[in-house]
Amino acid sequence: MKKIFLFLILVFSLQAFSQESFQIVSGPYLQSVTDTEATVVWTTNRQAVSWVELAPDDSTHFYHAPRPRYYNLSLGKKLIGTIHAVRIQNLEPGIKYRYRIYSQEVLEENASDVLYGKIAASKIFKANPFLFQTLDKDKTSFSFLTVNDIHENNDLLKSLLRNVKNENVDFVFFNGDMVNNMQTPEKILNGFLNLSVEMFASEIPFYIARGNHETRGLTAGRFMDYFPTPTGKPYFTLEHGNTFFIVMDGGEDKPDSDIEYGGLAAYDQFRIEEQQWLKKVVQSEPFKAARHKIVIMHIPPGNENAWHGPWHIKELFVPVLNGTGIDLMLCGHIHRHAYYKDGTGGTDFPVLINTYKNKTRVDVSDKGLVVKSLNEENKPEFEIELKM
């Protein structure tokens, strides 16, 4: 009996010793950055309460004064979880801010009592605080990048975006199918997110247009937890430098009844609801007043021979967008380059489909748009100038 008791003590001791310490697993990365807001997202390996400390980008040390704390909140209560999305509001347009992230493990939560554990935080003594800049509607020129259909190919993503911090871009669009599916959180983190953080995403924001492969898997229902938007939907708008962006979601590419969806798909209804939202967007004053108008959507509109999803997109969205002054639609999905001038395929605006092997760079100014498709060596394989 004594031997059994000692054995159990040894087993429990080994389990406690081998248990992974509380830590930040991924992030931080920037989401929903506007001219007055930003959301910082990261994950931990266990349940925690989290917050961001924010400071202006001035000459003072980050610890020069107590910095305001912004918590992950819902209805006035600090949230406990492993995915932490801290929304920071009331920022100034075009201003740089420094930030640091914190998470405190929650060991036990009762009705009126919480037992806390250790704190994990981003480094500040051995590294500079993270830095980001809010968007600015008064900016006269800017640039952005788009990549798509990476399908968890980290080597390809790295070759396309390895120098993004030196390319003078304000943000990056991930235009769908960054993963093969969202079966597990690890598929998201290891598929593209951790590498994006390593390269740029803690300081340069990315905005993601959901692709049809992001609709698949057990974790697909948590898409908005990882990638929050101003609308709370995977379709939203964005304003920067007198340009109005509409980021859209085409849903799946096959009929809802297809065997691949296991009887769970209802994307026809989803697209119809999105169409009603789109009708309001194109009637809004900020959209009408914008000098440039760009649409980001993973699945391009299809022709009469297209699969159901692209054809439904054309039926629902193209009539709403035609006649509103769209300058460019950027798509992916078909894994090859294609460019359709305005008037082709039923649209009165040009549609550029980016191949998975390239990135698209768009330089925006008052004169118009310069659009380039760049390969892994950063050499242009396609270029067009759209003058306003």
Residue 90: Cβ within 10 Å count: 6
Pick from 332, 302, 329: which is nearest to 211 by CA?
332
Tokens of 27: 């992030």
Determine the straight-line distance between the first and last CA of the chain, rounded to whole angstroms. 86
Q: Name residue 338's amino acid.
A: A
What tens-digit pLDDT sequence spans the chain (388 residues)? 454 444 444 434 434 444 789 999 999 999 999 999 999 999 999 999 999 999 999 999 898 899 999 999 999 999 999 999 999 999 999 999 999 999 999 999 998 899 999 999 998 777 789 999 999 999 999 999 999 999 999 999 999 999 999 999 999 999 999 999 999 999 999 999 999 999 999 999 999 999 999 999 999 999 999 999 999 999 999 999 999 999 999 999 999 999 999 999 999 999 999 999 999 999 999 999 999 999 999 999 998 789 999 999 999 999 999 999 999 999 999 999 999 998 778 999 999 999 999 999 999 999 999 999 999 999 999 999 998 7
The β-bridge relationship of strands 328-331 and 243-247 is unpaired
- Torsional sign, CA 228, 231, 233, 238: negative
Angle at 105 between CA 100 and CA 110, to 5 degrees: 130
List where CATH 2.60.40.10 sits in the chain.
21-133
Evaluate whether the domain defined by 21-133 bears CATH number 3.20.20.150: no
Helix intervals (H) in the chain = 2-18, 154-161, 185-188, 194-196, 223-226, 267-282, 285-289, 308-316, 318-321
List where CATH 3.60.21.10 sits in the chain.
142-387
Q: Is the pTM of this model over 0.95?
A: no
| Topology annotation, domain 142-387 | Purple Acid Phosphatase; chain A, domain 2 (3.60.21)
pLDDT of residue 342: 84
